[in-house]
């Protein structure tokens, strides 16, 4: 029904005439945020929710417009979820600091380097005098440097920051995109994190990580999701469907990343919508529904999101890798 929307069909005019127009209003994000923050145990939720909504509003006005930026309800929600996880981990910490860290963890990974100083200024105006929380990643940081040396990669601070951002994004989102032009280090980013997490699998909070990589544009939609064979009326399994089904059946606590390494296009990504939102289910044409397990993450490694619809962009966490930021 959405007019002028990628991946959706327009209704024919004779059918359109039968529908009456509907008016919609924008929900009150601050009120929704306040109620959710209260439910996570925040005392000063009203004040914090207002600050959070103002942050998003100022970002949408002042920062550059990129295809992968999104300041809608889902972005607000992932900040609140992150804030809830942080509150649970450290109940006595200053609440302003917890929200500040949640805002940074969710938003900083997707910003281009020119937008970061602007974002910092917005945050400083809204949270005056609140120090940037120092986070100790302990063994993960040490292991990442070791993994880099083993793969003959220089452990540049900028690169390590991006790997940590990917790790943080994995904690709050089960669908995420590594975005950026060739040479930005997208592939190495997830490979280093996978290697480090697998090496730390005996420690708490870390599990062995498996990557299942496929290129969605190298095969047809039917081969990706599966289709009915017209000659025999048999259902032919799709590559993505099979990967997701196998990973979701794994009884071990190992993490599974299903990695779509190729350009996103409005047609195949729209079928991913049910997987990427809160349903976490892959619905196939055969009527089969494959629920994702807790340990699964859908990752997309793409150059840009020029043809992706807002529905897709808002459903995914974004980590933007730009070659310029890493240095020579």
C-alpha torsion sign, points 213, 216, 218, 220: positive
Rounded to two decimals, the pTM is 0.91
Distance between CA atoms of residues 281 and 274, nearest Å: 6
The superfamily CATH assigns to domain 13-126 is: Dynein motor, AAA1 domain, small subdomain (1.10.8.710)
All CATH 3.40.50.300 domain ranges in the chain, comma separated = 139-326
CATH architecture of 139-326: 3-Layer(aba) Sandwich (3.40)
Strands (E), the chain: 175-179, 209-214, 226-229, 234-237, 255-261, 281-283, 289-291, 296-302, 317-320
Distance between CA atoms of residues 273 and 281, nearest Å: 9
Phi and psi at 256, nearest 5°, equal -125, 125
pLDDT tens digit string along 60-71?
Answer: 999 999 999 999
Closest CA to 60 of 73, 75, 49, 71: 71
All CATH 1.10.8.710 domain ranges in the chain, comma separated = 13-126
Task: Return the pLDDT at 12.
Answer: 85
pLDDT at 85 over 60: yes
Contact status, residue 95 vs residue 83, Cβ threshold 8 Å:
no
> What mean pLDDT is predicted for residues 130-145?
89
DSSP assigned state of 109: G
């Amino acid at each position: 029904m959405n007019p002028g929307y990628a991946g959706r069909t327009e209704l024919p005019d004779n059918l359109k005439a039968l529908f009456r127009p509907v008016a919609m209003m924008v929900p009150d994000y601050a009120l929704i945020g306040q109620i959710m923050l209260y439910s996570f145990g925040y005392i000063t939720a009203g004040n914090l929710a207002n600050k959070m909504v103002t942050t998003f509003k100022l970002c949408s006005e002042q920062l550059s417009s990129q295809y992968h930026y999104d300041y809608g309800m889902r972005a607000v929600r992932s900040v609140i979820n992150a804030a809830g996880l942080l509150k649970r981990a450290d109940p006595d910490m200053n609440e302003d600091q917890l929200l500040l860290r949640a805002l940074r963890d969710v938003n900083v990974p997707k910003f281009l380097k020119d937008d970061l100083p602007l974002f910092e200024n917005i945050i400083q105006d809204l949270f005056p005098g609140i120090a940037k929380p120092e986070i100790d990643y302990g063994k993960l940081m040490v292991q990442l440097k070791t993994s880099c040396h083993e793969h003959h990669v220089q452990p540049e601070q900028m690169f390590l920051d991006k790997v940590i951002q990917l790790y943080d994004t994995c904690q709050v989102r089960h669908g995420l995109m590594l975005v950026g032009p060739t040479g930005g280090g997208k592939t190495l980013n997830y490979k280093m994190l996978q290697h480090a997490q697998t090496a730390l699998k005996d420690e708490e909070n870390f599990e062995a990580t498996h990557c299942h990589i496929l290129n969605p544009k190298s095969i047809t939609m039917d081969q990706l999701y599966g289709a009915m064979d017209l000659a025999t009326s048999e259902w032919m399994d799709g590559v993505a469907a099979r990967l997701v089904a196998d990973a979701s059946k794994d009884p071990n606590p190992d993490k599974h990343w299903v990695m779509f390494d190729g350009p996103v296009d409005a047609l195949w990504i729209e079928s991913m919508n049910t997987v990427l939102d809160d349903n976490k289910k892959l619905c196939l044409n055969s009527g089969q529904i494959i629920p994702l397990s807790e340990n699964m993450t859908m990752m997309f490694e793409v150059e840009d999101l020029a043809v992706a619809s807002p529905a897709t962009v808002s459903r995914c966490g974004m980590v933007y890798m730009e070659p310029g930021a890493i240095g020579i």
